[in-house]
């Protein structure tokens, strides 16, 4: 699964089902681009489309159990990578990194 597909799937897993336009807006891509991403995710069984209750011409896109599991697996792999990288450093270096991150992202405190 490519990064664009993984990102769109992440929006659906953590943000919940939405229509194609909402998903395209969340990912900051044009609807035709999102249509291609959704088609690939659907083909591989990571998402499903259901008719929109508000608009018969539109569908709601939602993650399947397979999609949620794939996203959780990818997330765990990234966290393991970060943990491995951080475990190679001294506590003082980790503390310095924490201070730098707090300065860059003060809203995350």
Q: pTM of the full predicted structure? A: 0.75
- 84 is written with which tokens? 């491995």
Structure confidence at residue 109 as a pLDDT band (50, 70, 90): low
| 24-46 residue pLDDT tens | 999 999 999 999 999 999 999 99
- Residues 26 and 102: their CA atoms lie apart, in Å, by 26
- Residue spans of the domains in the chain: they are 3-108
Residues 6+ apart with CB under 8 A from 25: none
What burial letters (b/e) apply to 54-80, b meaning 16+ CB within 10 Å? eeeeebbbbbbeebbebbeeeeeeeee
| 72-83 residue pLDDT tens | 998 898 888 888
CATH classification number, 3-108, choose in 2.40.50.100, 1.10.10.10, 3.20.20.70, 3.40.50.720:
1.10.10.10
């Amino acid at each position: 699964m490519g990064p664009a597909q993984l990102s769109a799937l992440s929006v659906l897993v953590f943000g919940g089902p939405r229509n194609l336009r909402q998903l395209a807006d969340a990912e900051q891509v044009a609807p035709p681009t999102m249509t291609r991403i959704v088609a690939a995710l659907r083909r591989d069984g990571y998402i499903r489309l259901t008719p929109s209750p508000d608009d018969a011409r539109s569908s709601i896109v939602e993650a399947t159990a397979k999609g949620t599991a794939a996203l959780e697996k990818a997330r765990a792999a990234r966290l393991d990578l970060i943990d491995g990288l951080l475990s190679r450093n001294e506590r003082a270096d980790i503390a310095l990194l924490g201070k730098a991150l707090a300065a860059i992202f003060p809203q995350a405190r």
